[in-house]
Chain A
Amino acid sequence: MGVPGRTPPSLLRNFSIIAHIDHGKSTLADRMLGLTGAVDERTMRDQYLDRMDIERERGITIKSQAVRLSWACQGTTYTLNLIDTPGHVDFTYEVSRSLAACEGAVLLVDAAQGIEAQTLANLYLAVQNDLVIVPVLNKIDLPAAQPERYAAELAHIIGCDAEEVLRVSAKTGAGVGDLLNAVVARVPPPAGDPDAPTRAMIFDSVYDTYRGVVTYVRVVDGRLAARDRIRMMSTGAQHELLDIGVIAPEPTSCSALGVGEVGYLMTGVKDVRQSRVGDTVTIAGQPAQVSLAGFQDPKPMVFAGLYPMDGSDYPLLREALDRLQLNDAALVYEPETSAALGFGFRCGFLGLLHLEIVQERLEREFGLTLISTAPNVVYRVVMLDGTEVVVTNPSEFPVGKYTTVSEPAVRVTVLAPSEYIGAVMELCQARRGSLLGMDYLSAERVEMRYRLPLAEIVYDFFDALKSRTRGYASLDYEFDGVIEADLVKVDILLNGEPVDAFSAIVHRDRAYGYGVDMTSRLRTLIPRQQFEVPIQAAIGSRVIARETIRAMRKDVLAKCYGGDITRKRKLLERQREGKRRMKMVGRVEVPQEAFVAALGGGEEVVARRS
């Protein structure tokens, strides 16, 4: 393998693999690691590059990784940098930064599935970054594979010949060597000025408990050497380089990284926000004047309140969020109190998957049990006096006195067999979508593009889409500005007291539906009290839906003989234990399970106590 810092760009190839989820990206990366000898058979394990447990279990790649491989082709040894990208739209910005570190992309498509929405979304990103696309069909070992058909589809989309589409099986390894040869032949070597002031782009940054922040960079111009004093161009912050190296695929220190090379930096900094994806690294002594394109602060798009089930875990939750943030520049949070749920945090996420992953990591890595409020998007409210209020929590939505409300929008791409066009259109229209365009990818498959409010896809859009298309549709989206809408806040009142955790901002046409759904759900979830409890949904002071939990009439009429005393005492003890876990809303005792079930889609059926 070429020595880092002394490998001529002509012998370097930087590429990534882009694919729809489950099309085999991680498996293909494993084969490449094996074939190039980067990992021997003994140490090989599935999804070698997916380091977090949660990635392995869910089979998704959250944080990008870069690995340096050595590949001999026609007598010459090349150095290949395989840059793994997160596949999900929540991390689009990170995907595009990873792609910006490459000259080529392997576009991997499952030969039994064909092109899916994320294939396209990633392909567009790659094309926007001027990458050379190497089209590949994977899983040709499967009996259900239709390589002819999908090679034609792929060729049609990227505008090449079907013969140029390679065929591999990441499972058996068939065709993977030819694929690496094609990468060498088709992907151009990096171009850059070795004598210009150093500019390196940060495309990933992870916090490691032992080593602090590890920053992944691609050197564009100049070079980075051990013990250089570096400077982050967005903030001007300077750091000593404690270590510099490459991932091969274990971290290996080196003396320098030259033009086109990919490697890691360590400065001992503890917080990934000091070293953010997209930023440009330069040398403090001889700084570059212009930073590389594209530094963006990740913007949280979806918000939810996270509360510990056990109120005494609040300090632990704070500590856990602090720790996660070291590794996740996109996670934002601030303390919040809910009358119903107690002390917690309002957290901002890139999207729904991000929310789910953060919640799962908090629960798994820190042993917390959490209640999450229903996720909502950010609203911008323009008040009568012209001031703008940013609302991240429905309970802060101003009452009256505003002129407009706007909410984030997304451009959604749906790919589906053409027989489902009607079903998809119906769904998107019901979700306040407007059709932007439609294209046939082949006679049987169509791509539909819609603009929708983000809020409409935040809950169950994907599930609804899957069920209407028998699972055949795939979906991708990107953020697309904001739209004005006729939005109202619906409050849910228990015995006249608003329950902040249940307030929601919904389109006026949907307010009634939300109110009816929530009140009837709560009626079955909240046990009877000693008094009648009205459950109301209201917009301001106008009640739009109402249910009543009848008063409990009796809790005791049993005989109480000598033998019943122990039994009855144990029952009361269990009840007291249960009461300790109740949350009080005014005088109403609400079991935590009711919050979980009412807020979380409600798979959990909470038995009604009679």
Chain B
Amino acid sequence: MAPPDPWLDLTAAAWGEIPGRPLRFYLHVPYCTHRCDYCDFTTYTPDDPRGRGQAQWLPGVRTELALAARVLPAALAGPVHSIFIGGGTPTLLAPETLGVAIADIADRWGLMADCEITVEANPETITPSLAAGLLAAGVTRVSVGMQSAVPAVLGALGRRHRPSTMVTAIECLRRAGLQRLSVDLIYGADGESLAQWQVSVQAALDLGVGHISAYGLIVEPGTALAARVARGVTRPPDDEDLAIKYELADAAFEAAGLRWYEIANWARPGEQCAHNSGYWRADTWWGVGPGAHSHLGGVRWWNRTNPHAWQVGLADVRGDRREARWPVAGWELLSAEQRALEQAMCTVRLRRPWPVLGNGRLRAALVAEGLVVPVGVHHASLTRRGRLLADHVVHRTLDAAGECWMTPASAS
């Protein structure tokens, strides 16, 4: 059987369009000390054999970077626009380890002068020495998983840090000299009152960070949360409640000078996350590590999630491409329709005005329904109400563009 090789599927046309795009790297660290109830990310805890191979992470990453260097066309020689080290809990690894990986990327492709290098960090892992280590490793931005500032809500989410930990963590990072900071919030946990959410929103603002992400809680299949919901002991998030909490947060963030730039992201001017913005613009990025996703000119692929399987796949890469078992678990070559759908889906979520295709009547209708504000002659941007119903707006724009979507048969 032919190995899964997404890159063989790249058409000449796809290769042709890549050079204009910024190149980005995502590094996935699949380890946590404990799994939060809602989380379905690729991550392993120490009680799982797959969670005990942390020492193998760096060698694997370096092998995969070597593979990327071979596969990526010469036209994509760099320099790199951004690196994002996510998890899992990247800060479970020594900052020096992350530093080696960053240096490897820098050596192979070079870094832009203003290259954004983000690390995700769990508050309880942040110490002065860690913060200093991150800075030394070249990290420019830290995203901290705050989730809530209310002990009861943190408990309901299965988080193990205390609200005060967050304050200390941010202080540590600042003192070390890390200035670009972001926090993640989750709202809609069972039992979270509006007042409690208000407390979390205010606490996040009081931290004085320049960037906040706020996500409505999703009950992901297979999680402890999903099991509790299925058993009826936990209530699933309620749409009405989520909508009200979104509006509340948006009003508070905007009033504090953090403006929305994507449905779930707010930032002071200049503080937007360049890396995530690249996802929404279909930039080229290579995701390194177990379970990481990549995108290259209309081909998406994703790595094996089991760290051992990923390692074994990588070990083969040295051989002939056609013979190797790749670290890749599946991939898909997007059709023109799928690319258009993804583009609509991503750009509609952005504040930056997007062109409303189809006819002028659609824009007028969306404006009349309070879903968008018109910008210029052809463009529009979502209103607050429109942001809550963004999928609907996506469907409307696709309907108007006269597209007919069929379920694609994607390779895997």
Q: Which residues of A contact B (CB under 8 A)?
A: 528, 530-531, 550, 552-563, 565-566, 568-569, 572-577, 579-580, 610
Contact bitstring B202-218, A, C-beta under 8 A = 1, else 0 = 00000000000101101
Chain B residues contacting A528 (CB-CB under 8 Å) are 239
Given contacts A575-B395, A576-B398, contact A559 B341 (CB under 8 A): no
In the bound complex, what is the Cα–Cα distance between A577 and B404 (angstroms)? 9
B107 interface residue per 8 A CB criterion: no
In the bound complex, what is the Cα–Cα distance between A559 and B45 (angstroms)? 23
Q: Is there contact, CB below 8 Å, between B341 and A572?
A: yes
Q: Is there contact, CB below 8 Å, between B346 and A557?
A: no
Interface residues of B in 339-392 (CB under 8 A from A): 341-342, 345-346, 349, 369, 387-392
Q: Quick one: which of B294, B349, B408 contacts A560, CB cutoff 8 A?
A: B349
Q: Quick one: which of B239, B342, B407, B408 contacts A554, CB cutoff 8 A?
A: B239
B161 interface residue per 8 A CB criterion: no
Q: Is there contact, CB below 8 Å, between A554 and B398?
A: no
A–B pairs, 19, beta carbons within 8 Å = A530-B389, A553-B239, A553-B243, A554-B216, A554-B243, A555-B388, A555-B389, A556-B390, A557-B246, A560-B262, A560-B279, A561-B276, A563-B287, A563-B292, A563-B293, A565-B293, A573-B341, A577-B405, A580-B404
Chain B residues contacting A563 (CB-CB under 8 Å) are 287, 291-293, 302
State the 6 A-B residue pairs at the shortest beta-carbon distance, nearest first. Answer: A557-B216, A553-B243, A563-B293, A554-B388, A555-B391, A576-B405
Which residue on B lies nearest to A566, using beta carbons? B300
Q: Is there contact, CB below 8 Å, between B391 and A572?
A: yes
Q: Quick one: which of B26, B239, B407 contacts A577, CB cutoff 8 A?
A: B407
Chain B residues contacting A552 (CB-CB under 8 Å) are 239, 389, 392
Chain B residues contacting A550 (CB-CB under 8 Å) are 240
In the bound complex, what is the Cα–Cα distance between A574 and B395 (angstroms)? 12
Chain B residues contacting A560 (CB-CB under 8 Å) are 262-264, 279-280, 346, 349
B338 interface residue per 8 A CB criterion: yes
Interface residues on B, range: 35 or more
In the bound complex, what is the Cα–Cα distance between A552 and B394 (angstroms)? 15
In the bound complex, what is the Cα–Cα distance between A230 and B158 (angstroms)? 88
Q: Is there contact, CB below 8 Å, between A569 and B338?
A: yes
Chain A residues contacting B390 (CB-CB under 8 Å) are 555-556
Given contacts A557-B264, A575-B391, contact A562 B279 (CB under 8 A): yes
Q: Is there contact, CB below 8 Å, between B293 and A566?
A: yes
In the bound complex, what is the Cα–Cα distance between A554 and B246 (angstroms)? 10
Chain B residues contacting A556 (CB-CB under 8 Å) are 263, 349, 387-391
Which residue on B lies nearest to A563, using beta carbons? B293
What would 7 more interface pairs be, CB under 8 Å, given A562-B26, A573-B341?
A553-B239, A554-B239, A557-B242, A557-B246, A557-B263, A563-B293, A577-B405
Given contacts A565-B279, A572-B394, contact A557 B215 (CB under 8 A): yes
In the bound complex, what is the Cα–Cα distance between A557 and B293 (angstroms)? 21
B326 interface residue per 8 A CB criterion: no
Q: Quick one: which of B242, B263, B291, B407 contacts A573, CB cutoff 8 A?
A: B407
Residue in A552, A561, A569, A572 whose Cβ sees the most chain B Cβ within 10 Å = A569
**Minimal beta-carbon separation of B14 from chain A (angstroms):** 17
Which residue on A lies nearest to B279, using beta carbons? A562
Which residue on B lies nearest to A571, using beta carbons? B391
In the bound complex, what is the Cα–Cα distance between A557 and B248 (angstroms)? 14
In the bound complex, what is the Cα–Cα distance between A572 and B338 (angstroms)? 10
B271 interface residue per 8 A CB criterion: no
Chain B residues contacting A558 (CB-CB under 8 Å) are 215-216, 218, 264
Q: Quick one: which of A531, A559, A574 contacts B407, CB cutoff 8 A?
A: A574
Chain B residues contacting A557 (CB-CB under 8 Å) are 215-216, 242, 246, 263-264, 388
Contact bitstring B264-289, A, C-beta under 8 A = 1, else 0 = 10000000000010011000010100
In the bound complex, what is the Cα–Cα distance between A218 and B100 (angstroms)? 100
Which residue on A lies nearest to B186, using beta carbons? A559
In the bound complex, what is the Cα–Cα distance between A609 and B24 (angstroms)? 37
In the bound complex, what is the Cα–Cα distance between A477 and B368 (angstroms)? 58
B295 interface residue per 8 A CB criterion: yes
B12 interface residue per 8 A CB criterion: no
In the bound complex, what is the Cα–Cα distance between A39 and B285 (angstroms)? 77
In the bound complex, what is the Cα–Cα distance between A565 and B285 (angstroms)? 13
Chain A residues contacting B242 (CB-CB under 8 Å) are 553-554, 557
Chain A residues contacting B104 (CB-CB under 8 Å) are none
Q: Is there contact, CB below 8 Å, between B302 and A559?
A: no
**Minimal beta-carbon separation of A479 from chain B (angstroms):** 50
Chain A residues contacting B287 (CB-CB under 8 Å) are 562-563
Chain B residues contacting A577 (CB-CB under 8 Å) are 405-407
**Minimal beta-carbon separation of A568 from chain B (angstroms):** 6
Q: Quick one: which of A531, A559, A572 contacts B215, CB cutoff 8 A?
A: A559
Chain B residues contacting A568 (CB-CB under 8 Å) are 345
B332 interface residue per 8 A CB criterion: yes
Q: Is there contact, CB below 8 Å, between B389 and A573?
A: no
**Minimal beta-carbon separation of A177 from chain B (angstroms):** 64
Given contacts A566-B300, A576-B395, A576-B398, contact A554 B389 (CB under 8 A): yes
Q: Is there contact, CB below 8 Å, between B389 and A579?
A: no
Given contacts A569-B338, A577-B407, contact A559 B391 (CB under 8 A): no
Which residue on B lies nearest to A565, using beta carbons? B342
Given contacts A554-B243, A566-B300, contact A559 B389 (CB under 8 A): no
Chain A residues contacting B276 (CB-CB under 8 Å) are 561
Q: Quick one: which of A561, A569, A574 contacts B342, CB cutoff 8 A?
A: A569
In the bound complex, what is the Cα–Cα distance between A540 and B404 (angstroms)? 40
Q: Quick one: which of B243, B279, B341 contacts A561, CB cutoff 8 A?
A: B279
Residue in B346, B369, B391, B394 whose Cβ sees the most chain A Cβ within 10 Å = B391
Which residue on A lies nearest to B404, using beta carbons? A580
Which residue on A lies nearest to B396, using beta carbons? A530
In the bound complex, what is the Cα–Cα distance between A574 and B408 (angstroms)? 10
Chain A residues contacting B349 (CB-CB under 8 Å) are 556, 560
In the bound complex, what is the Cα–Cα distance between A553 and B389 (angstroms)? 7
